[in-house]
Amino acid sequence: MKIKVLSFGFGNGMVDYADYVFDVRCLQNPYWVESLRPKRGTDAEVADYIFSHPESALFFGQALQLVQTAASLAEKKQKELLVVAFGCTGGHHRSVACAERMAGELRKQYDVQVVHRDIDKGDPPAV
């Protein structure tokens, strides 16, 4: 089974399709840290900032557990593709970091593709 992990910005519209969508706008926003603003969630400093907050680790851990359970069940039903999406405001920081981390965990067991839909779309909005 293949798993596609998407990141996107709600400011650019919802993804066309996903089995599971996680809204990560509740996590600490690197946009408000001047040195992190121009960076993206693929940069280690941004991911470190996001996941250094306990609520981020808790949120991500629970999302990972849900996706792993769903993937196991989908695989038993011979589903060919599972799509998981993470959305933040602009699709540059939080959603990207979460998608990358989720993909890293899932690659231990599945064939995973990562797509960052909005990572290069303009400057991140201020929310």
pLDDT digits (tens, 9 = 90+) for 11-57: 999 999 999 999 999 999 999 999 999 999 999 999 999 999 999 99
Q: What is the pLDDT of residues 77-111, one digit of tens each?
A: 999 999 999 999 999 999 999 999 999 999 999 99
Residue 100, both tokens: 């990358």
What is the phi-psi region of residue 6: left when phi exceeds 0, alpha when psi lies from -120 to 50, beta otherwise?
Answer: beta
Q: Give the residue ranges of DSSP H helices in 1-127.
A: 44-51, 54-76, 94-106
Compute φ and ψ for 87, nearest 5 degrees.
Answer: -120, 140
* Cβ atoms of residues 51 and 97 within 8 Å: yes
Strand 2-9 to 111-116 pairing:
parallel
pLDDT at 126: 54
Q: What's the predicted TM-score (pTM) here? A: 0.94
User: Counting every residue, how long is the chain?
Assistant: 127
CA–CA dist 15, 6 (Å, integer): 8
Query: Which residues are paired to 22 by β-bridges?
Result: 86
pLDDT at 125 over 60: no
